[in-house]
Amino acid sequence: MTSTLLITQIVLAIAITIAVLLQKSSSIGLGAYSGSNESVFGSKGPTGFLAKLTFTLAFLFIVNTLALGYFYTTVNSASVTDNIVPANNAAVPAAPINTKSETPAAPTPPTTK
């Protein structure tokens, strides 16, 4: 499942990049090379279509990212630090269990005469 989502993530990233680069900007960008798009997308040109396409792709990208994060988190419940062995291979001592309280008794208040 995660492999399919990861491939989808890569395809969505490439599609978003292409959709953004095709949009018209102040310097025209790569939209200058797609001059025939105006007749395909109507009289307004590809601006509205590309904006909607970019929004849809971005929404799918975010949903896919959240799904990938969820699946990776549920599969990997152990931490990397659980398998760390000290450099000298010594066992890490556990904290001593002390049942007897070693706190001193509270001082008594002075008596007045």
pTM more than 0.75: no
Are 51 and 31 within 8 A, CB to CB? no
Q: What is the mean pLDDT of the chain?
A: 77
Q: How many domains does the chain have?
A: 1
Distance CA 9, CA 6 (A): 5
Any domain includes 40: no
pLDDT winner (highest mean) among 3-7, 19-23, 70-74, 108-112: 3-7
Give yes or no for residue 61 having a pLDDT over 60. Answer: yes
Any domain includes 96: no
CA geometry: angle 54, 1, 10, nearest 5 deg: 35
Rounded mean pLDDT of 35-64? Answer: 75
Identify the domain containing residue 69 by its residue range: 1-21+47-77
Any domain includes 62: yes
Residue 106 CB neighbours (<10 A): 6
Rounded mean pLDDT of 18-45? Answer: 61
State the pLDDT at residue 4.
92
Any domain includes 11: yes
Q: What is the pLDDT of residues 84-98, one digit of tens each?
A: 776 776 666 777 777
Any domain includes 73: yes
What are the phi and psi torsion angles at 11 (to 5°)?
A: -65, -40
Whose CA is closest to 17, among 49, 47, 57, 45?
Answer: 57
Give yes or no for residue 81 having a pLDDT over 50. Answer: yes
Distance CA 95, CA 8 (A): 48
Residue 109 DSSP class: P
**CA 12 vs CA 26, 53, 58, 61, 75: distances in Å:** 25, 11, 8, 6, 23
Any domain includes 95: no
